[in-house]
Amino acid sequence: MRTHRFPSVVAASALLAALVGALPAQAHELKGSTSADLALAQQVQTALLAQASFQHPGTDLTITVHQGHVALSGWVGHTENTSTAQDLAAAVPGVTGVSSQLRAWATSSDPLAGLTGRGAQALVAQDTAPTVQSAAQGAADAELAGKITARLMQAEPLREANSELKVKVQGGQVDLSGWVAYADDAQQLRQIVRSIPGVKAVNARFHSWSSDTRS
């Protein structure tokens, strides 16, 4: 299994330009239990994106609203951004509460704190365990989502540290998203899901840490 570690922080200066140029664009996802909740999620997104700290590449936010309660998840550049996001969300009219599962690529004490997003994550090599989230519309979809998740977690791409998987199932239609290590990992995961009985179609929008291929 390949690793993504650099020998020292000294390497950062030589690799900084290349890493920043390779960072993925922002990715944001909005969810709402009702049309009013979805509209509120959009207002929260607007409030966050008005701040420069949430405009850099590598920011990956999921904003979920249920009866006015806002749940934030995904990735931000620095640890201080997590509390800032909660404060901004709480200040939006109509928000009744805020919870957060946001994670940060770097801390303010990090010597590479000026480098945001996945470039910082790669350089400081702070590996985290793979994470999985799933969502489904009904009992049959929930059962299918469970089968998909169990199958994918046995696949090599999702045994990598720092991989992230989101599975959504609606009427047998499967949406996959998240982060994988290599550019060809997404295709492998898509093929696995297509082979599972009950799956009607698969959409995938993964980000990869590296443009290299696993093979």
Q: Which residue ranges form the domains of the chain, and what is each CATH number?
A: 24-124 (no CATH), 131-208 (3.30.300.20)
Question: Is pLDDT larger for residue 57 or for residue 120?
Answer: 57
Q: What is the mean pLDDT of residues 157-176?
A: 84
| Span of 96-100, 128-132, 173-177, 208-212 with lowest mean pLDDT | 128-132
d(CA 30, CA 32): 7
| Mean pLDDT of the chain, nearest integer | 76
Percent pLDDT > 70 in the chain is: 72
| Residues of the chain by 3-state class (helix, strand, coil), percent to 5 | 35, 30, 35
Q: What is the predicted pLDDT for the residue at 10?
A: 36
- Which helix H or strand E contains 11, and what residues bound it? helix 11-22
Answer for the pair 77, 104: CB distance below 8 angstroms, yes or no: yes
Please list, residue by residue across 193-213, b when 16 or more beta carbons sit within 10 angstroms of its beta carbon and e when fewer do: beeeeebeebeeebbbbbeee
> Would the pTM of this model clear 0.85, i.e. be above it?
no
40, pLDDT greater than 90: yes
Q: What is the predicted pLDDT for the residue at 161?
A: 65
* DSSP SS3 for 183: coil
- Per DSSP, the residues of 75-127 read EEEEHHHHHHHHHHHHTSTT--EEEEEEEEEE-TTSTTTTS-THHHHHHHT--
Q: What is the predicted pLDDT for the residue at 57?
A: 64
